[in-house]
Amino acid sequence: MEEQASAKKDSDFFLYVPGKDFRYTISISESDTTHANEPDGYITRETPYSFRFTKFFLIKRGVIQNILPISRVYPYTLIRGTTMRKIALLVIVGLFVVGDLSAATYRLFVHGRSGSNHCQSLTSTSSGTTDYNNYWGGAVTGLANVRYVGFDGTQSGGAYSWNTCGAQKQFNDAVRVFCGTGNTCEVYTHSTGGLVVAAYFGLNSPTGLNISRIQLMASAAGGSELADFSTSYLAWLGFDTLGGALDQSVSTGGARSGFNHNNAGGRTYYTTSGQGSDYLYATSPLLPGQDDGVLANHSLCNINAVASVNPSCTRGSGTITESYACGFMWLSTCYNNYSRWTPYYTVWQGGGSESHGGAKYDYNRR
């Protein structure tokens, strides 16, 4: 194979497949009108191959020229070349150095309900580096490759919106830009952001994404009773509410009926919560059971039905059991059992020291 390539003056090019001890030759014949404009040449079409790898490295004279995703390699076939034992040490060293520099882990932060528009275009991996309109307020520190996924909550559909700057479209743009082609993502959400992400994976079946962790901090995936009330009733509490479509989507009915929460495409949602309050507990009468000032425990603990849940969210995804006095003269003990959605897994419960806003700092909880 190598001799044939040399005759065509193509022997300087080959593909190395990570994890295998052989390489593949590349043809860059300019006489082929179909592929003459491919800047890196094209792969000769002689022997079909089963594509089981995520990356291919294009190498010329011992220097990696490019990393090709499967989408670039798949339409063609490969010629098996010499074994790795015949590849120069320089090529091997260069492979690992350049490969490490090319792949990155991005941390995506998806905000919650806000009176401001946090939308910014996400078109390349250099996008989203600033917390536009300051939702996170400096809470995110000490992490590399942080990217902020912002949306406009006033868009029709609220948390389910695919409009320009809508929540679903923005998150879809983010995962397509940051979570593929060899890169990996961690996704962190706060409040309504948890509903946005859970709905995205519950309603869609995206492929080609490398997401290593999804953490929903003070998740509103189960909805909030505060959104069930008219914004006019909440004005006296000092809420900056958006009303309309966003409140409808994050209401208990809108959040729970919008998609199947047990469908996460095989992913796990790690959740955190607290039982403090940013509003001196003024909102607690509107929220059943324990709450964090904005969300009741039925949402924070990932309970599969609206309920007055008084126990704290226990670690894991198992049933939460609450005991109470019952029967004649309340001499007996009865139990309420609260089942949780399967993909959701509680990793942290901050108790009374953590409010809804304080959950923004939970991205390091494990």
Could you write out the DSSP letters of every residue in 291-353? BSSSSBHHHHTTBSS-----SPPPSBSSPEEEEEEESGGG-EEEEEEE-B-TTEEEEEE-GGG
Look-up of token digits 């070349």: 81
In angstroms, rounded to a whole number, what is the distance separating the alpha carbons of residues 242 and 20? 55
In angstroms, rounded to a whole number, what is the distance separating the alpha carbons of residues 57 and 43? 12
What burial class does residue 246 get, using C-beta atoms within 10 Å of its C-beta: 0-12 exposed, 13-18 middle, 19+ buried?
buried
- Greater model confidence, 152 or 88: 152
In angstroms, rounded to a whole number, what is the distance separating the alpha carbons of residues 300 and 1? 61
Q: Give the pLDDT confidence score for residue 244 in this predicted structure.
A: 73
Q: Percent of the chain at pLDDT above 90? A: 64
> Which residue segments constitute the domains of the chain, with CATH numbers given?
2-102 (no CATH), 105-364 (3.40.50)
pLDDT at 187 over 80: yes
Query: What is the strand order of the sheet 184-190 is part of?
Result: 146-149, 105-110, 184-190, 211-217, 269-273, 344-349
Q: Give the pLDDT confidence score for residue 171 in this predicted structure.
A: 98
pLDDT at 287 over 60: yes
**Cβ contact 336:321 at 8 Å:** yes
In angstroms, rounded to a whole number, what is the distance separating the alpha carbons of residues 263 and 208? 18
Q: Give the pLDDT confidence score for residue 124 in this predicted structure.
A: 96
b/e per residue 147-159 (b: at least 16 CB within 10 A): bbbbbbbbbebbb
pLDDT at 285 over 90: yes
**Cβ contact 161:245 at 8 Å:** yes
109-134 pLDDT, tens digit per residue, is 999 999 899 999 999 999 999 999 99
pLDDT at 58 over 60: no
pLDDT at 46 over 70: no
Q: Identify the sign of the CA torsion 84, 87, 93, 96.
A: negative
Look-up of token digits 């929460």: 261
Across the chain, what does the average pLDDT equal? 79
- Greater model confidence, 8 or 249: 249
pTM of the model as a whole: 0.72
**Cβ contact 283:294 at 8 Å:** yes
pLDDT at 220 over 60: yes
Q: Percent of the chain at pLDDT above 70? A: 68
Nearest CA-CA partner of 246 in 220, 217, 211: 220
Which residues have a Cβ under 8 Å from the Cβ of 347 and sit 6 or more positions away?
215, 270, 271, 272, 315, 365, 366
In angstroms, rounded to a whole number, what is the distance separating the alpha carbons of residues 168 and 160? 6
Residue 64, SS3 per DSSP: strand
322-339 pLDDT, tens digit per residue, is 999 999 999 999 999 999
